[in-house]
Chain A
């Protein structure tokens, strides 16, 4: 059914199956609550109102006619009967002695329950002032209190809808609203028992497994893409890549005196090819070392201030450029993916062959050792020159250069640092920045998702592969209705009465 015009209204609000912020606000100010009973409305009016409000949440995208066909007056429930209780009592204890006026009813299955009970203490702080008045002694709350000791059958009124494929996808937290879940199904992103299912109204059977396309789930539950942000990131990345290219080209140009400047401008790779014939072996080695050093400048920056565990967007862009140019440096074909471990291994062998690899401790450990009497090696002129040149190419002014040297130092990368680098690269590969995605990258959950994040017990979900199993139909048990509904018992009862169709 078409989405109504004012779907998230603030004046005449309705609770919806969605993670929208309007919906969160409406829930917080108790929009789903039963209006106070003042005897001014007829029974019919109350039922009508309850029906309208509950249907705004439960399957508002389903035509009324179809829902009426689904409605079932049979409400499912289950009782936990611990084996120990069944073994020790045969049921006669419930009635024995009743005729003599004895109350022997003290033993019941409940005494053997061991599962965690729901919390019943009111916290001091509430999210909205209206919640406070509702959580204390209002008329509705007082009326509802004895309900926690019985099975809330009426909360199961809309249980048949929970069987629908689109609702189950929403409940398994794979989509941010039922309408979105429905779209996923229609667009062919959902499989049931390994077969594509394009009917959102498919009624799941107990034991059915459904899978949703990972990309769709990431899109549905991830933060929305902000165009300006992606443009900013793109330009930053482009700049960084350009700088890197320039740096390589400059190095090559400096090293090949006799080769004309044109070939360097054409691109570093062709220049390398052209000049390899003219350079001696030593010179070639030196050139390679310098190339690698300029490659590692950015990475050092990321590694050295890795006190915080989370990578910033800037760090990620640095790592991405590094990965790309490292692949180039190792003469990989363009566009080919290279695993983090493999990349680090190859770099290590390269560095060993160029004598750029130090087996020593990391910087912090080394300075500790220095206090014991070992002297810290002063950087020699060559090192200073090399790092200065690498920074020159980066386009930093003197002050920035000073700062950068403070951070990255003159030494080569240590073994542990290389390992750290591999970890970082892996971390980056797990949740990368990718402009081609339809959601904000790196992936972050939608705002306010945690307020809506719950998985009812009749589903078993594996979020790693975005698959879930519909275990059984939802049931009511003592003090707990398994159907996730934002409405109180009375509203559901009125709605149930409406659909019973008895005047």
Chain B
């Protein structure tokens, strides 16, 4: 779009350019009786923006693969090289994670170790896939065109069985503890064997060492066994998988038992459309004023505070 000359909003230099490109002046000459100025004017800033978009952005950003502003290939914000667009799991990786966990019953920790994906991400992938399958059963419509377009625009991690794959993300991230963020000078004799354990103790008595705070503690043991003489990594990995599976099953059984116990405490009776659930409750546990934190419901004579001004009603968690 060429700038329209109107008043003094353009400089003489840009006027030159306009004379060549704009047909407005010619059109204006034929309508010499019109003295009023065109209403739509374009400022220099806008002109430059439109020019940039037409020359650079139009061709560069409507592609079927990741394209960021740069200057680095994976850098979306030009002024911040410390933020990069990191790859997401490809559809095939997600499918494999789901089948491994749900169909083959492999423990999530084992899948995480095998595919080098964080355990929390493995769990989230399974949860989302499960929801997706539920939608399929219900016959709900997916956002397929959107998903296809988005996946084309994002860098993706690939994984193939048996290959030397580049890990998707570190699986043994250890969050930096608040207590260890201070600078500390501990005089130690040179002959002393000062380990991570000691360093943690130096910061605080209760602070655990990195080994103990690791989310994949068993893997450290495996690596230790493998490094020992006569150690075989493959067998210890196999053992780890078995143990992880057992631990997971145990945990699931424990959860089931707990919920069963909870259920047993509730007496249910069905009346037509309604189901009454009755649970024994000790009225002594509601506190001095009947407003203890975990006390139940509304009680006569006690005003509810939740409509009072300044009371925050935004939930802090959704179970």
A-side residues, CB < 8 A to B, are: 10-11, 21-22, 24-25, 27-30, 32-34, 74, 76-84, 86-88, 90-92, 95-96, 98-100, 113-116, 118-123, 126-128, 131-132, 134-135, 144, 147-148, 152, 155, 173, 192-193, 195, 197, 199, 201-203, 205-209, 211, 214, 217-218, 221-222, 430-431, 442-445, 447-457, 460-469, 471-472, 475, 477, 479-489
- In the complex with contacts A21-B57, A79-B176, A454-B85, A91-B196 CB distance below 8 A: yes
Q: Is the CB of A465 within 8 A of B143?
A: yes
Of the candidate stretches B16-24, B128-136, B282-290, the one touching chain A is B128-136
**Counting CB contacts under 8 A, is B154 at the interface?**
yes
- Which residues in A have their C-beta under 8 angstroms from that of B81? 144, 148
| Pick from A74, A214, A472: contact of B120, CB under 8 Å | A472
Q: Is the CB of B49 within 8 A of A25?
A: yes
- In the complex with contacts A114-B167, A480-B82, A122-B132 CB distance below 8 A: no
Q: Is the CB of B194 within 8 A of A120?
A: no
Nearest opposing residue in chain B for A222, CB measure: B146
- Which residues in A have their C-beta under 8 angstroms from that of B167? 114-116
Tell me the bound Cα distance from A222 to B147 in angstroms. Answer: 12
Chain B 275-319 against A: per-residue CB contact (8 Å), 1 yes, 0 no?
A: 000000000000000000000000000000000000000111111
Q: Is the CB of A88 within 8 A of B214?
A: no
Q: Is the CB of A485 within 8 A of B77?
A: yes
Nearest opposing residue in chain A for B63, CB measure: A450
Of the candidate stretches B66-74, B241-249, B261-269, the one touching chain A is B66-74
Q: Is the CB of B70 within 8 A of A123?
A: yes
Nearest opposing residue in chain A for B91, CB measure: A464
B-side residues, CB < 8 A to A, are: 43, 45-46, 49, 52-53, 56-57, 60-63, 66-74, 76-89, 94, 116, 118, 120-121, 124-125, 127-129, 131-132, 135, 140-147, 149-151, 153-154, 166-170, 172-176, 178, 188, 190, 193-199, 209-211, 214, 216, 219-224, 226-227, 314-319
Tell me the bound Cα distance from A83 to B217 in angstroms. Answer: 8
Nearest opposing residue in chain A for B216, CB measure: A83
Tell me the bound Cα distance from A169 to B39 in angstroms. Answer: 40
Q: Is the CB of B57 within 8 A of A24?
A: yes
Tell me the bound Cα distance from A21 to B73 in angstroms. Answer: 20
Nearest opposing residue in chain B for A453, CB measure: B153
Q: Is the CB of A27 within 8 A of B142?
A: no
- Which residues in A have their C-beta under 8 angstroms from that of B120? 206-207, 471-472
Which of B45, B63, B220 neighbours the largest number of chain A CB atoms within 10 Å of its CB? B220
- Which residues in A have their C-beta under 8 angstroms from that of B79? 30, 32-34, 134, 486-488
Q: Is the CB of A193 within 8 A of B69?
A: no
Task: Please give the distance in Å from A414's CB to the nearest CB on chain B.
Answer: 29
List 18 A-B pairs, Cβ < 8 Å: A28-B57, A78-B175, A83-B216, A92-B193, A95-B188, A127-B57, A152-B82, A155-B82, A217-B143, A449-B61, A453-B154, A454-B68, A454-B154, A465-B143, A468-B128, A471-B121, A479-B82, A488-B79
- In the complex with contacts A90-B196, A118-B74, A488-B79, A76-B175 CB distance below 8 A: yes
Q: Is the CB of B77 within 8 A of A27?
A: yes
- Which residues in B have their C-beta under 8 angstroms from that of A152? 82
Tell me the bound Cα distance from A453 to B85 in angstroms. Answer: 8
| Pick from A10, A83, A447: contact of B62, CB under 8 Å | A447
- Which residues in A have their C-beta under 8 angstroms from that of B82? 147-148, 152, 155, 479-481, 488-489
Q: Is the CB of B145 within 8 A of A430?
A: yes
Task: Please give the distance in Å from B59's CB to the nearest CB on chain A.
Answer: 11
Q: Is the CB of B49 within 8 A of A22?
A: yes
- Which residues in B have their C-beta under 8 angstroms from that of A96? 193
| Pick from A27, A115, A452, A455: contact of B169, CB under 8 Å | A115
Tell me the bound Cα distance from A453 to B118 in angstroms. Answer: 22
| Pick from A119, A127, A173, A209: contact of B127, CB under 8 Å | A209
Q: Is the CB of B175 within 8 A of A199?
A: no
Q: Is the CB of A87 within 8 A of B49?
A: no
Tell me the bound Cα distance from A157 to B115 in angstroms. Answer: 32
CB-CB nearest 8 A-B residue pairs: A91-B196, A87-B223, A454-B85, A80-B170, A10-B45, A469-B124, A463-B147, A83-B219
Q: Is the CB of B190 within 8 A of A121?
A: no
Q: Is the CB of B193 within 8 A of A78?
A: no
Q: Is the CB of B78 within 8 A of A27?
A: yes
- In the complex with contacts A80-B170, A462-B129, A451-B146 CB distance below 8 A: no
Tell me the bound Cα distance from A425 to B152 in angstroms. Answer: 23
Q: Is the CB of B128 within 8 A of A87?
A: no
| Pick from B66, B72, B140, B220: contact of A87, CB under 8 Å | B220
Which of A78, A118, A454, A482 neighbours the largest number of chain B CB atoms within 10 Å of its CB? A454
Q: Is the CB of B128 within 8 A of A209?
A: yes
Tell me the bound Cα distance from A79 to B210 in angstroms. Answer: 10
Q: Is the CB of B199 within 8 A of A91?
A: yes
Tell me the bound Cα distance from A28 to B188 in angstroms. Answer: 53
- Which residues in B have their C-beta under 8 angstroms from that of A135? 71, 78
Which of A28, A88, A207, A460 neighbours the largest number of chain B CB atoms within 10 Å of its CB? A460
Additional 20 contacts, C-beta under 8 A, given A24-B61, A453-B66: A10-B45, A74-B178, A78-B175, A80-B172, A80-B173, A87-B220, A123-B71, A127-B60, A127-B78, A131-B78, A147-B82, A214-B141, A450-B153, A465-B135, A471-B118, A479-B82, A480-B83, A482-B83, A486-B77, A489-B82
Nearest opposing residue in chain B for A445, CB measure: B149
Q: Is the CB of A21 within 8 A of B53?
A: yes
| Pick from A11, A92, A197, A484: contact of B318, CB under 8 Å | A197
Task: Please give the distance in Å from A212's CB to the nearest CB on chain B.
Answer: 10
Q: Is the CB of B52 within 8 A of A25?
A: yes
Nearest opposing residue in chain A for B65, CB measure: A450
Task: Please give the distance in Å from A252's CB to the nearest CB on chain B.
Answer: 37
- Which residues in B have their C-beta under 8 angstroms from that of A477? 173
- In the complex with contacts A86-B214, A131-B70, A457-B169, A448-B128 CB distance below 8 A: no
- Which residues in B have their C-beta under 8 angstroms from that of A485? 77, 80, 83
- Which residues in A have their C-beta under 8 angstroms from that of B94? 462
Q: Is the CB of A118 within 8 A of B72?
A: yes
Tell me the bound Cα distance from A214 to B264 in angstroms. Answer: 40
- Which residues in A have their C-beta under 8 angstroms from that of B132? 462, 464-465
- Which residues in B have their C-beta under 8 angstroms from that of A173? 150
Q: Is the CB of A483 within 8 A of B195?
A: no
Q: Is the CB of A431 within 8 A of B227?
A: no
Nearest opposing residue in chain B for A93, CB measure: B195
Task: Please give the distance in Å from A460's CB to the nearest CB on chain B.
Answer: 4
- Which residues in A have their C-beta under 8 angstroms from that of B194? 91-92, 95
Tell me the bound Cα distance from A84 to B149 in angstroms. Answer: 39
Tell me the bound Cα distance from A34 to B81 in angstroms. Answer: 13
Tell me the bound Cα distance from A90 to B199 in angstroms. Answer: 11
- Which residues in A have their C-beta under 8 angstroms from that of B198? 91
Task: Please give the distance in Å from A459's CB to the nearest CB on chain B.
Answer: 9
- Which residues in B have their C-beta under 8 angstroms from that of A27? 69, 77-78
- In the complex with contacts A21-B53, A134-B78, A460-B121, A84-B223 CB distance below 8 A: yes
Which of A28, A450, A487 neighbours the largest number of chain B CB atoms within 10 Å of its CB? A450
Nearest opposing residue in chain A for B225, CB measure: A87
Tell me the bound Cα distance from A19 to B146 in angstroms. Answer: 16
- Which residues in A have their C-beta under 8 angstroms from that of B129? 462
